[in-house]
Amino acid sequence: MRRAGVVVVLLVAASLTGCTSQSCASWVDYESDEDRARDADVVVLTDDIEPDGTMNILGFDANAYRVTVADVEKGDVAVEEEIRVGSTADNCSDAPYGPRDPMSQDGRLRLFLHVGETGLRTLTPFDGVRPAA
């Protein structure tokens, strides 16, 4: 009887472990804006960003924003066009956006964007948003 109890405990523990496991992305660490632009589908400048709910990115709900394009450096968007952008999060971290979502920075920003399954999203959680110089 004791052996059966140990087997039940092990089976329950194994099934719970499977419920909490998830795959984590390995993000590219870009060294320059030129590297970011090379891999981005769209690169825009903006100083008009408004929160717009969430967007599913890589199976997770991520912050979404309405962005008015001030200038286009790459991609098929137009100046003054309003685009919806998801802020890619590091969902394997306790703080998916670090100290704060990079899309919430003040001032003019350069966005490096990828065309994903659900729309435009930042290139990575760490390299999709940069202050525009």
CATH of the domain at 46: 2.40.50
HSE, CB side, 13 Å, CA atoms: give it for residue 38: 7
Rounded-to-integer distance, Cα 63 and Cα 71, Å? 23
* pLDDT digit string, tens, across residues 20-30: 456 777 788 89
Average pLDDT along the chain: 85
Q: Is residue 82 part of a domain?
A: yes
Residues 77-121: pLDDT tens digits?
Answer: 999 999 999 999 888 878 787 788 999 999 999 999 999 889 999
SS3 at position 127: coil
Domain extent at residue 122: 29-131
Q: How many domains does the chain have?
A: 1
Helix (H) or strand (E) segment spanning residue 20 = helix 2-20
What gap in Å lies between CA 102 and CA 13, rounded to an integer? 38
Percent of the chain, pLDDT > 90? 63
Residue pointed to by tokens 């990115």:
57
Structural domain contains residue 3: no
